[in-house]
Chains A and B, each alone.
Chain A
Amino acid sequence: GAVVSQHPSWVICKSGTSVKIECRSLDFQATTMFWYRQFPKQSLMLMATSNEGSKATYEQGVEKDKFLINHASLTLSTLTVTSAHPEDSSFYICSASRGLAGDEQYFGPGTRLTVT
C-alpha cells in the first residue's frame, strides 16, 4: 500500500514553454501533498504544500505564479512549471500524506525536467 505515482518520469522542453507534472496517490486518499525540488547532490527543498480543495502554501522564495499547483482531488495534484527556463531544470518530487497527525509522507518516483 501507500503508492504514489508521478508522470512523466522525465521531460525535456524548450525554454519559454510550460510543463505539467502529475502526482497521484494510487491506493489511499491524500489529504495533503507536497512538492519538492532537488538539484544534483543537494538536499530536498520543499516548494509548496497543498491540501485538497485549497490553495497551495508556498515556501519563501518560491514563485507561486511560476509554479502552479492544483490539488483538485484526494488522489491527484499537479505542478505546472510556466515559462520554463534552463535554471528550472531539476528533479521534481511529490509526496503525499493522509493528513493524519504524525502520518508519514510517501514519495513519488520523481520527474526529471530538462529545459533547453
Chain B
Amino acid sequence: QKEVEQNSGPLSVPEGAIASLNCTYSDRGSQSFFWYRQYSGKSPELIMFIYSNGDKEDGRFTAQLNKASQYVSLLIRDSQPSDSATYLCAVNPTGNQFYFGTGTSLTVIP
C-alpha cells in the first residue's frame, strides 16, 4: 500500500465549476498535510497546508481534512483555465519525512 494515494485523473471540469481533488494516506499518526500545484515543465509550488480536522479556506481554495478517515481533499471554486495543472498531495507523518502522491492532473475547459 502506498503512503499517499491520489487518483491520477485526468480530471476535467468546465470553467467556473468546482474541482474536487482527493487524497488518502496510510499513516494514521500523520499531522501535517500539504497541497502543491505543478505546471507542466515547472517545479511544484505550495498552495495550501492543513494541520487540523475540518476546512481551511484560502481564496478560491479549500482544503478539507478528516483524520478519522485518513482523507484530505482540495476544492477549487470558480475554476479557471490557469488552474490546469497537476496537483500533488503531500503528507508529513513525522520529522523530515514527506510522502507525495503521484498527483492528479486537472484540466479546466474554457
Chain A neighbourhood of B90, CB < 8 A: 105
Q: Are A109 and B103 in contact (CB under 8 A)?
A: no
Report chain B residues within 8 Å CB of A101. 31-32, 94-95
Q: Please, which residues of chain B bring their CB within 8 A of the CB of A67?
A: none
Partner of B98, one of A34, A91, A109: A34
B57 interfacial contact with A, CB 8 Å: no
B1 at the interface (CB under 8 A from A): no
Cα–Cα distance between A110 and B38 once the two chains are bound (Å): 12
- Is A44 touching B44 in the complex (CB atoms < 8 A)? yes
A-B contact count (CB 8 A): 49
The answer to the question of A51 belonging to the interface, with a C-beta cut-off of 8 Å to chain B, is: yes
A32 CA to B98 CA in the complex, in Å? Answer: 12
CB neighbours of B41 from chain A (8 A): 91
| Cα distance A111–B100 in the bound complex, in angstroms | 20
Given contacts A43-B103, A104-B34, A105-B90, contact A49 B45 (CB under 8 A): no
Inter-subunit contact B96/A99 (CB<8 Å): yes
Contact with B along A74-116 (1 / 0, CB 8 A): 0000000000000000010101010101111111111000000
Q: B45–A43 contact, CB under 8 A?
A: no
A109 partner, pick from B34, B42, B51, B94, beta carbons under 8 A: B42
**CA–CA, A34 to B32, complex, Å?**
17
Contact with A along B36-58 (1 / 0, CB 8 A): 10000111111001010000000
> Could you tell me the distance between the alpha carbons of A33 and B46 in the complex, rounded to whole angstroms?
16
B102 near A51 (CB under 8 angstroms)? no
Residues of B within 8 A of A104 (CB): 32, 34, 46, 49
Q: B residues within 8 Å of A by Cβ?
A: 31-32, 34, 36, 41-46, 49, 51, 88, 90, 92, 94-96, 98, 100-103
- Contacts A/B (CB < 8 Å), 17 sampled: A46-B100, A49-B96, A97-B96, A99-B96, A101-B31, A101-B94, A102-B31, A102-B32, A102-B51, A104-B34, A105-B46, A107-B36, A107-B45, A109-B42, A109-B43, A110-B42, A110-B43
Apart from A95-B44, A103-B92, 5 more pairs, CB < 8 Å: A46-B98, A102-B51, A102-B92, A103-B32, A107-B46
